[in-house]
Amino acid sequence: MPQNSGERQQSGEPQTLQKVKVVLDWTPNTNHTGLYVAKAKGYWEERGLDVEIVMPPETGAEAMVASGAAEFGVSYQESVTLAREQEVPVVSVAAVIQHNTSGFASPADKNIREPKDFEGKRYGGWGSPVEQAVIESLMQEQGADVGKVEFINIGNADFFTAVRRDIDFAWIYYGWTGIEAELRDFPLNVVYLTDYTEKLDYYTPVLITSENMIREKPDIVRAFVEGAAAGYGFAIGNPDEAADLLLAAVPELDAELVKASQRWLSPRYQDDAVRWGEQKREVWVNYGEWMAEHGLLKPGLDYDAMFTNEFLPGK
């Protein structure tokens, strides 16, 4: 394992840090606060790492991590599951948020209240096949036809601009876009995934690495995950100060939104888990089985290969 700062100081040797990258899933927001805290407060540095936080390519974090272009990334359980089905060797090493806070949001005046209301509407997303699959699974439950949904790739476009101009609904995290809607006094309808089945209470987002990193450089994986855990632990106990650290790193973010979002999200990072980052096998199985039941994923995938708690700090 990389030397800790105390060992370096005692030996008098110059500090040599291992450079690694973590690629985000989206533009910076409070899902990422723990990463920015870890960097700002030296939690990775004291574990021997110099971590660069980078923006995602259009191909997504999974491909970048699998190829080795980045050692770590921010992803989602549904994306990791699809990647594993396609034999892309990425592994989830920590759950950023313990329960699924995401849903399909729309302006209240569009009257999209349940999955069947998606018919005839325009969905704005980022072009991942996972999006259509999850939407289709919900619509199947109500006998609705996903073929009647128009899928539009809006990339990183602002939700509030897009729903007034180009689309009718989009997939949001309540802790970011939902909180922004509250601040704007912008009435939303949100179709939460967990309203329709507990099997969709999956981990989103998650931190990922590659099988190769776990096999070849487990000490670096452990140092990264432990530093991230310290960062999120700080954010759980100190939401306002953590928000300030995110804003210092990304000053173009809206300070009022970051503060309000952080206060909402901080208690939800760990929630009812024994420790931050903990992942349960049943959560991975439940999502995979739900998608397989709807004909959207191969049955019998190796769920144990998709995630590990091995690198989390002790309970």
- Domain 102-200: what homologous superfamily? Periplasmic binding protein-like II (3.40.190.10)
Rounded CA-CA distance 106/188 in Å is 6
pLDDT in tens, 247-260: 999 999 999 999 99
Q: Mean pLDDT across the stretch 278-284?
A: 98
Judge residue 267's burial from the number of C-beta atoms within 10 Å of its C-beta, 0-12 exposed, 13-18 middle, 19 or more buried.
exposed
Rounded CA-CA distance 62/230 in Å is 24
Domains 5-98+203-305 and 102-200 alike in fold: yes
Confidence band for 315, pLDDT divided at 50, 70 and 90 = low
Strand pairing class (188-192; 102-107): antiparallel
CA 130 to centroid of chain Cα atoms: 14
Instruction: Write down the pLDDT at residue 59.
Output: 82
Instruction: Write down the pLDDT at residue 156.
Output: 84
Mean pLDDT for the chain? 94
Backbone angles phi, psi at 193, to 5 degrees: -60, -40
Confidence band for 60, pLDDT divided at 50, 70 and 90 = confident
- Domain 5-98+203-305: what homologous superfamily? Periplasmic binding protein-like II (3.40.190.10)
0.95 surpassed by pTM: no
pLDDT in tens, 233-249: 999 999 999 999 999 99
pLDDT in tens, 8-27: 344 445 579 999 999 999 99
Tokens found for residue 95: 């759950």
Q: Where are the domains of the chain?
A: 5-98+203-305, 102-200
Rounded CA-CA distance 102/55 in Å is 21
Q: Is the pLDDT of residue 1 over 60?
A: no
pLDDT in tens, 67-78: 999 999 999 999
